Protein backbone atom coordinates (compact mmCIF):
# COMPACT_ATOMS: atom_id res chain seq x y z
CA UNK A 1 0.00 0.00 0.00
CA UNK A 2 1.04 3.59 -0.51
CA UNK A 3 -1.10 6.30 1.06
CA UNK A 4 0.88 9.24 -0.28
CA UNK A 5 2.59 9.40 -3.65
CA UNK A 6 2.47 11.68 -6.67
CA UNK A 7 1.82 9.42 -9.66
CA UNK A 8 1.45 12.31 -12.10
CA UNK A 9 4.95 13.60 -11.32
CA UNK A 10 6.95 10.49 -12.26
CA UNK A 11 8.78 10.85 -15.60
CA UNK A 12 6.58 8.09 -17.02
CA UNK A 13 3.25 8.12 -15.18
CA UNK A 14 1.52 5.66 -17.52
CA UNK A 15 4.10 2.96 -16.92
CA UNK A 16 4.11 3.58 -13.16
CA UNK A 17 0.31 3.38 -13.08
CA UNK A 18 0.36 0.06 -14.97
CA UNK A 19 2.81 -1.51 -12.50
CA UNK A 20 0.98 0.00 -9.52
CA UNK A 21 -2.31 -1.44 -10.76
CA UNK A 22 -0.70 -4.88 -10.89
CA UNK A 23 1.49 -4.83 -7.77
CA UNK A 24 -0.26 -2.77 -5.10
CA UNK A 25 -3.31 -3.38 -2.93
CA UNK A 26 -4.16 0.30 -2.47
CA UNK A 27 -2.55 3.57 -3.56
CA UNK A 28 -3.55 7.16 -2.85
CA UNK A 29 -2.25 9.37 -5.61
CA UNK A 30 -2.20 12.91 -4.26
CA UNK A 31 -2.04 16.08 -6.36
CA UNK A 32 -0.21 19.34 -5.72
CA UNK A 33 -2.56 21.69 -7.60
CA UNK A 34 -6.32 21.52 -8.14
CA UNK A 35 -5.77 22.13 -11.86
CA UNK A 36 -3.83 18.83 -12.05
CA UNK A 37 -6.66 16.86 -10.46
CA UNK A 38 -8.75 15.99 -13.52
CA UNK A 39 -5.85 14.72 -15.62
CA UNK A 40 -4.32 12.81 -12.70
CA UNK A 41 -7.65 11.16 -11.85
CA UNK A 42 -8.02 10.17 -15.52
CA UNK A 43 -4.68 8.35 -15.39
CA UNK A 44 -6.20 5.79 -13.02
CA UNK A 45 -9.82 5.62 -14.17
CA UNK A 46 -9.44 1.90 -14.92
CA UNK A 47 -7.65 1.11 -11.65
CA UNK A 48 -9.97 0.15 -8.79
CA UNK A 49 -7.01 0.01 -6.36
CA UNK A 50 -5.82 3.58 -7.03
CA UNK A 51 -7.59 6.74 -5.82
CA UNK A 52 -6.79 10.36 -6.53
CA UNK A 53 -6.72 13.12 -3.94
CA UNK A 54 -7.69 16.71 -4.67
CA UNK A 55 -4.90 18.91 -3.35
CA UNK A 56 -3.07 22.19 -3.20
CA UNK A 57 0.40 21.74 -1.73
CA UNK A 58 1.33 24.40 0.85
CA UNK A 59 4.65 24.97 -0.96
CA UNK A 60 2.71 26.02 -4.06
CA UNK A 61 0.12 28.23 -2.42
CA UNK A 62 2.05 31.40 -3.27
CA UNK A 63 1.72 30.57 -7.00
CA UNK A 64 -1.59 28.71 -7.10
CA UNK A 65 -3.81 30.48 -4.60
CA UNK A 66 -6.06 31.48 -7.50
CA UNK A 67 -6.98 27.83 -8.11
CA UNK A 68 -8.80 27.54 -4.81
CA UNK A 69 -12.22 27.72 -6.43
CA UNK A 70 -11.42 24.49 -8.32
CA UNK A 71 -11.70 22.70 -4.98
CA UNK A 72 -15.41 23.43 -4.99
CA UNK A 73 -15.68 22.14 -8.55
CA UNK A 74 -14.06 18.73 -7.87
CA UNK A 75 -14.84 17.95 -4.24
CA UNK A 76 -17.90 15.92 -5.27
CA UNK A 77 -15.86 13.54 -7.38
CA UNK A 78 -13.54 12.04 -4.74
CA UNK A 79 -13.42 10.65 -1.20
CA UNK A 80 -9.84 11.86 -0.84
CA UNK A 81 -8.23 15.28 -0.37
CA UNK A 82 -4.47 15.85 -0.53
CA UNK A 83 -1.86 16.98 -0.55
CA UNK A 84 -2.97 19.84 1.68
CA UNK A 85 -1.62 21.33 4.89
CA UNK A 86 0.80 23.95 6.15
CA UNK A 87 4.54 24.45 5.75
CA UNK A 88 6.21 26.62 8.37
CA UNK A 89 9.66 26.67 6.73
CA UNK A 90 11.13 30.14 6.28
CA UNK A 91 11.00 29.78 2.48
CA UNK A 92 7.20 29.76 2.52
CA UNK A 93 6.61 32.27 5.29
CA UNK A 94 5.36 34.94 2.89
CA UNK A 95 2.42 32.72 1.92
CA UNK A 96 1.50 31.73 5.48
CA UNK A 97 -1.81 33.60 5.64
CA UNK A 98 -2.84 32.21 2.28
CA UNK A 99 -1.74 28.72 3.35
CA UNK A 100 -4.09 28.93 6.35
CA UNK A 101 -6.88 30.13 4.09
CA UNK A 102 -6.40 27.28 1.58
CA UNK A 103 -6.07 24.60 4.26
CA UNK A 104 -9.11 25.81 6.18
CA UNK A 105 -11.13 25.97 2.98
CA UNK A 106 -10.22 22.35 2.14
CA UNK A 107 -11.09 21.19 5.66
CA UNK A 108 -14.38 23.06 5.78
CA UNK A 109 -15.44 21.98 2.30
CA UNK A 110 -14.60 18.35 3.14
CA UNK A 111 -16.62 18.64 6.33
CA UNK A 112 -19.69 20.19 4.75
CA UNK A 113 -19.66 17.52 2.04
CA UNK A 114 -19.98 14.79 4.64
CA UNK A 115 -16.31 14.17 5.34
CA UNK A 116 -13.23 13.23 3.35
CA UNK A 117 -10.01 11.33 3.99
CA UNK A 118 -7.23 13.93 3.91
CA UNK A 119 -3.47 13.44 3.43
CA UNK A 120 -1.81 16.27 5.31
CA UNK A 121 1.58 18.00 5.17
CA UNK A 122 2.72 19.55 8.46
CA UNK A 123 6.44 20.34 8.15
CA UNK A 124 7.46 22.82 10.87
CA UNK A 125 3.80 23.56 11.45
CA UNK A 126 2.39 20.61 13.42
CA UNK A 127 0.75 22.69 16.15
CA UNK A 128 -0.83 25.09 13.67
CA UNK A 129 -2.02 22.16 11.55
CA UNK A 130 -3.75 20.62 14.56
CA UNK A 131 -5.33 23.93 15.52
CA UNK A 132 -6.86 23.93 12.02
CA UNK A 133 -7.94 20.24 12.19
CA UNK A 134 -9.65 20.39 15.57
CA UNK A 135 -12.95 22.08 14.52
CA UNK A 136 -13.31 19.78 11.48
CA UNK A 137 -12.48 16.41 13.04
CA UNK A 138 -15.99 15.02 13.32
CA UNK A 139 -16.77 14.12 9.70
CA UNK A 140 -13.24 14.04 8.31
CA UNK A 141 -10.47 11.43 8.63
CA UNK A 142 -6.94 12.80 8.83
CA UNK A 143 -3.72 11.11 7.75
CA UNK A 144 -0.60 13.01 8.74
CA UNK A 145 1.95 12.36 6.02
CA UNK A 146 5.62 12.01 7.10
CA UNK A 147 4.98 13.57 10.51
CA UNK A 148 8.05 15.31 11.93
CA UNK A 149 6.75 17.29 14.91
CA UNK A 150 7.57 16.87 18.58
CA UNK A 151 6.52 14.03 20.86
CA UNK A 152 4.00 16.36 22.49
CA UNK A 153 2.52 17.31 19.12
CA UNK A 154 2.36 13.63 18.24
CA UNK A 155 0.31 12.88 21.36
CA UNK A 156 -2.10 15.64 20.48
CA UNK A 157 -2.45 14.28 16.95
CA UNK A 158 -3.22 10.82 18.31
CA UNK A 159 -5.82 12.35 20.62
CA UNK A 160 -7.48 14.17 17.71
CA UNK A 161 -7.77 10.79 15.98
CA UNK A 162 -5.14 11.28 13.28
CA UNK A 163 -3.65 8.41 11.32
CA UNK A 164 -0.01 8.46 10.20
CA UNK A 165 1.48 7.44 6.88
CA UNK A 166 5.13 6.50 7.32
CA UNK A 167 7.69 5.76 4.64
CA UNK A 168 11.12 4.18 4.16
CA UNK A 169 12.99 7.44 4.83
CA UNK A 170 11.10 8.21 8.05
CA UNK A 171 11.92 4.70 9.24
CA UNK A 172 15.62 5.17 8.48
CA UNK A 173 16.12 8.34 10.52
CA UNK A 174 16.64 8.30 14.27
CA UNK A 175 13.98 10.92 14.96
CA UNK A 176 11.48 9.35 12.58
CA UNK A 177 11.98 5.93 14.14
CA UNK A 178 11.49 7.31 17.63
CA UNK A 179 8.25 9.02 16.55
CA UNK A 180 6.97 5.88 14.83
CA UNK A 181 7.65 3.85 17.97
CA UNK A 182 5.25 6.17 19.84
CA UNK A 183 2.40 5.94 17.34
CA UNK A 184 -0.27 3.36 18.21
CA UNK A 185 0.16 0.41 15.80
CA UNK A 186 -3.48 0.61 14.78
CA UNK A 187 -2.99 4.14 13.35
CA UNK A 188 -0.10 3.39 11.02
CA UNK A 189 -0.27 3.28 7.22
CA UNK A 190 2.55 3.21 4.66
CA UNK A 191 3.61 5.75 2.04
CA UNK A 192 6.54 6.58 -0.24
CA UNK A 193 6.03 10.26 -1.21
CA UNK A 194 7.50 9.24 -4.58
CA UNK A 195 8.86 10.54 -6.84
CA UNK A 196 10.26 13.06 -4.35
CA UNK A 197 12.07 10.41 -2.36
CA UNK A 198 14.96 8.13 -3.22
CA UNK A 199 17.33 5.73 -1.52
CA UNK A 200 20.83 5.27 -2.97
CA UNK A 201 19.76 7.51 -5.85
CA UNK A 202 16.90 5.13 -6.72
CA UNK A 203 13.51 6.81 -6.84
CA UNK A 204 10.91 5.19 -4.63
CA UNK A 205 7.79 3.73 -6.25
CA UNK A 206 4.47 2.77 -4.62
CA UNK A 207 5.37 -0.92 -4.61
CA UNK A 208 8.50 -0.19 -2.53
CA UNK A 209 6.49 0.82 0.56
CA UNK A 210 5.64 -2.67 1.87
CA UNK A 211 8.94 -4.16 0.79
CA UNK A 212 11.00 -1.53 2.59
CA UNK A 213 8.84 -0.65 5.60
CA UNK A 214 7.65 -4.04 6.85
CA UNK A 215 11.15 -5.26 7.87
CA UNK A 216 11.83 -1.94 9.65
CA UNK A 217 8.52 -2.06 11.54
CA UNK A 218 9.12 -5.70 12.39
CA UNK A 219 12.38 -4.75 14.08
CA UNK A 220 10.96 -1.66 15.76
CA UNK A 221 7.89 -3.46 17.12
CA UNK A 222 9.67 -6.71 17.87
CA UNK A 223 7.10 -8.83 16.03
CA UNK A 224 7.43 -10.96 12.95
CA UNK A 225 6.95 -9.47 9.47
CA UNK A 226 3.82 -11.50 8.74
CA UNK A 227 2.17 -10.08 11.83
CA UNK A 228 3.23 -6.53 10.81
CA UNK A 229 1.74 -7.14 7.40
CA UNK A 230 -1.58 -8.31 8.84
CA UNK A 231 -1.77 -5.31 11.22
CA UNK A 232 -1.18 -2.95 8.28
CA UNK A 233 -3.78 -4.72 6.14
CA UNK A 234 -6.32 -4.41 8.91
CA UNK A 235 -5.48 -0.70 9.35
CA UNK A 236 -5.94 -0.13 5.62
CA UNK A 237 -9.30 -1.88 5.70
CA UNK A 238 -10.55 0.21 8.64
CA UNK A 239 -9.28 3.45 7.12
CA UNK A 240 -10.90 2.74 3.76
CA UNK A 241 -14.20 1.88 5.43
CA UNK A 242 -14.39 5.58 6.37
CA UNK A 243 -14.81 6.62 2.75
CA UNK A 244 -17.69 9.00 2.46
CA UNK A 245 -19.11 7.30 -0.63
CA UNK A 246 -19.37 3.98 1.24
CA UNK A 247 -21.11 5.51 4.24
CA UNK A 248 -23.66 7.61 2.37
MN1 LIG B 1 4.09 14.80 -1.00
The CA 56 to ligand 1 mean position distance, Å, reads: 11
Greatest Cα-to-Cα distance within the chain, rounded to the nearest angstrom: 49
Contacting residues for 11 by C-beta, under 8 A, at least 6 apart: 195
- 209 Cα: distance to centroid of ligand 1 (angstroms): 14
Query: Would the pLDDT of 127 be above 80?
Result: yes
Span from the CA of 6 to the centroid of ligand 1 (angstroms): 7
- Cα R_g (the chain), whole angstroms: 17
Across 223-239, average pLDDT: 98
> Residue 227 C-alpha to ligand 1 middle, in angstroms?
28
Q: Please give the average per-residue pLDDT across 133-146, as a whole number.
A: 98
Q: How far is the CA of 172 from the centre of ligand 1 (A)?
A: 18
Q: pLDDT tens across 95-111, in order?
A: 999 999 999 999 999 99
**Cα 30 to ligand 1 centroid, rounded to whole Å:** 7
Residue 245 CB neighbours (<10 A): 8
Q: What tens digit of pLDDT does each residue of 19-49 get?
A: 999 999 999 999 999 999 999 999 999 999 9
Q: Distance (Å, rounded) from C-alpha 65 to C-alpha 105? A: 11
| Mean pLDDT of the region 218-230 | 98
- What pLDDT, on the 0 to 100 scale, is given for residue 247? 76
Contacts of 186 (CB under 8 A, 6+ apart): 231, 234, 235, 238
| pLDDT of 246 over the 90 cut | no
For residue 151, how far is its CA from the centre of ligand 1 (angstroms)?
Answer: 22
Check whether 217 has a pLDDT greater than 80. Answer: yes
Closest residue by Cα to residue 195 from 179, 184, 206, 210: 206
For 156-187, write each residue's pLDDT tens digit: 999 999 999 999 999 999 999 999 999 999 99
Task: Report angle CA 223, 228, 230 to the nearest 5 degrees.
Answer: 130
pLDDT at 248 over 80: no
0.95 exceeded by pTM: yes
Ligand 1 center to 138 CA (angstroms): 25
Share of the chain above pLDDT 70, in %: 100
- 164 CA distance to ligand 1 middle (Å): 14
Amino acid sequence: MDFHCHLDLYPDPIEVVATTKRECTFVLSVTTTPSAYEKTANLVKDCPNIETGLGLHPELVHQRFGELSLFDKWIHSTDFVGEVGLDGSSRYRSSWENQIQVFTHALKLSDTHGGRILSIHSRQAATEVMNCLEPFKYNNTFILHWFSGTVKELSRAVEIGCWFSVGPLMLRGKKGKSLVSRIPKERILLETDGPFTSINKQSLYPWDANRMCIPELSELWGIDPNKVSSILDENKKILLSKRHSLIN
